[in-house]
Structure 1
Amino acid sequence: MIYKLLPSTEWDAARERGRFTGSAVDREDGYLHFSAADQVVETARRHFGGATGLTLLTVDPARLGAALRWEASRGGALFPHLYGDLPVDAVVAAEDLPVDRPAADAVAALLP
């Protein structure tokens, strides 16, 4: 599985449309940013520290096809990038993060 952190309001809008077209940083970079299980806590710490109203998506990469690419990013590690919209039917779980915990701690508690 791969993971996506995003504002809950963006996930709500994506469910209505049937697809997620990306947050501002995704659109700026030209692809949707995802993390592997061993990367998502650090992603939460670096990019979502202090943020509230977040949702963690668990996505089945097998449902994304050739638009999903693993590319070097932070520290040379390979990260999953999706060159296209995320169909909501590729999301196997969506968990709202509690607002009373740092995002990284909340994400760590949700991982298998």
Structure 2
Amino acid sequence: MENLHIVFWLLKDISWCMIWKPLGVAMIFPTLIISLIIAWRTRQFMSELCHNVAISLWISANSYWMISEFFHFDTLVIWGEITCKHVALVPFVSGLLILAYYYIWYLPRHKETSESI
């Protein structure tokens, strides 16, 4: 499943690069769904869960950014110099915060029971 996930992800990003809108948008769904399934299946291991949720957030941010460029609303100004493309920072930063939580707070407190990183 993880290998198939990478194939979908690459197809999505190649479609973005080549501006193949239908394929790019279609590849969002299997890519994101499989990443969420992988996160769910690894939920018993905090390390895997945090990393896989961060990946799902990265795919979400990346997909939103792609859609904003495909449909030409990426440069629309929301406020000041913040554009619609910058909305992608919400899931990007959320993923970073989850990883920061894991590495800064969780892992140091659970070293004796931690799984391999």
The bucket for the TM-score relative to the shorter chain is: under 0.3
- TM norm structure 2: 0.24
Larger radius of gyration: 2
Higher helix share: 2
**Larger RCO (alpha carbons 8 Å, 6+ apart):** 1
- TM norm structure 1: 0.25
